[in-house]
Structure 1
Amino acid sequence: MTGNKDEAILPNPRLAVAMVGTMATWWMGIPIGIILGLVGLIHRQWKEMFTVTLQAFALTIAVAFLTGLIGLGYGYYNFANDPIYFTSAWYLPKNLLDVKNFVAVGSMHNFSYIGGVTGLLAAVYFSIRRRLQ
């Protein structure tokens, strides 16, 4: 397969996609980790603090994951089917082969940030409620 100078031909495209995903989202985990770690300090015993904080992290991850899946579906069935929307609101590379899936995954990415913040709020609430029990 021949390509032009703007095209990246990768030996393992799935690994490259995983790397891009990691680079795009790693920074969100830092404030979430700091906030949940600090909120975890409200618990009386270290075992309770450890258990509740791990549960709070799991809750945050679950909410972010589920919100991302909702974003994937929403992007695939709504954004990607509206060519006026995604051609005006999204940056689309020149040699993009699959516009619909590109837009769907971009929507999933954006929704995941919303899910991360929502999950963080839910986890803080969860941790405080566990402390007050």
Structure 2
Amino acid sequence: MARAGVFLGLMGLAVLVAAAFGALHNQVSYTVGPDYFHAFKFRQFTIPREMDPRLGAAEVGVLASWWMGVLIGLPPFVMGVLTLRPAARFFRVGLAAIALAAFVTALTSLAGLVFGLYVVTPETAAAVTLPIKVGDPVGFLRAGMMHNASYLGGFLGTIAAFWLVRRRARATA
């Protein structure tokens, strides 16, 4: 019963960390490409025009990423609830899994941004047909690359977190 409570607590924490990551991530990507938000994300998430754009970007980040905490947390925490005893150990390993997943996601997102900074130039952006009209296609594409990379990072973070929990479970089996 105690491990079930730890499982639920870790899932809740994973959702909060994912939401906070999204809010912070969007502050960086808004700096890189405000058009990504004004022409695309604010409309997609029905952010009011009168809202401060930084606050709007944070809200988009929360709404777009909280659910990733569920997806990222489920595999390692199911493994943990089934294999890690006692509950306090499961909790410690679960916290480490959340930190590892967030770290991997952040690194991958940063790699997407760096890749976008090097690859997306005015020339390469001009060769891309965007589905919407934007004032700054370079910033738009760079911010988009950063966002796409963060979802890839979430997937890789899930694998890393699962691996960590599995390794810790095998260490005491």
TM-score (norm 2): 0.64
- Which of these residues, 148, 160, 163, is aligned with residue 122 of structure 1? 160
Rounded to whole Å, the distance in 2 between the matches of 1:113 and 1:80 is 23
- Which of these residues, 67, 70, 92, is aligned with residue 30 of structure 1? 70
**Is 2:104 aligned against 1:70?**
no
Rounded to whole Å, the distance in 2 between the matches of 1:121 and 1:83 is 33
8 Å CA contact 1:60–1:120 kept in 2: the answer is: yes
* Higher percent of residues as helix: 2
8 Å CA contact 1:80–1:104 kept in 2: the answer is: no
Secondary structure of 2:84's counterpart equals coil
Which residue identity is paired with 2:58? A
**1:55-108 per-position Cα deviation (integer Å, ceiling 9, x unaligned):** 0011001000110011011112213451255x23x43x32x2322222111101
**Identity percentage of aligned residues:** 36
Rounded to whole Å, the distance in 2 between the matches of 1:9 and 1:98 is 19
Q: What's the counterpart of residue 59 of structure 2?
A: 19
Rounded to whole Å, the distance in 1 between the matches of 2:76 and 2:50 is 38
Aligned length: 124
Structure 1 position 111, deviation (Å): 0.5
Rounded to whole Å, the distance in 2 between the matches of 1:27 and 1:80 is 33
Rounded to whole Å, the distance in 1 between the matches of 2:80 and 2:121 is 41
Alignment of 1:1-133 (within 5 A): 9-41=49-81, 42-81=83-122, 82-85=124-127, 87-88=128-129, 90-91=130-131, 93-94=132-133, 96-133=134-171
Structure 1 position 120, deviation (Å): 0.7
Larger Rg: 1
Rounded to whole Å, the distance in 2 between the matches of 1:10 and 1:69 is 30
Which residue identity is paired with 1:18? A
Decide which moves more: 40-49 or 30-39.
30-39
Which residue identity is paired with 2:159? L
Task: State the 4+ residue runs in structure 1 displaced beyond 4 angstroms.
Answer: 6-9
Unaligned runs of 5+ in 2: 1-38
**Structure-2 change in CA distance of 1:21 and 1:130 (3 Å):** same
8 Å CA contact 2:125–2:141 kept in 1: the answer is: no
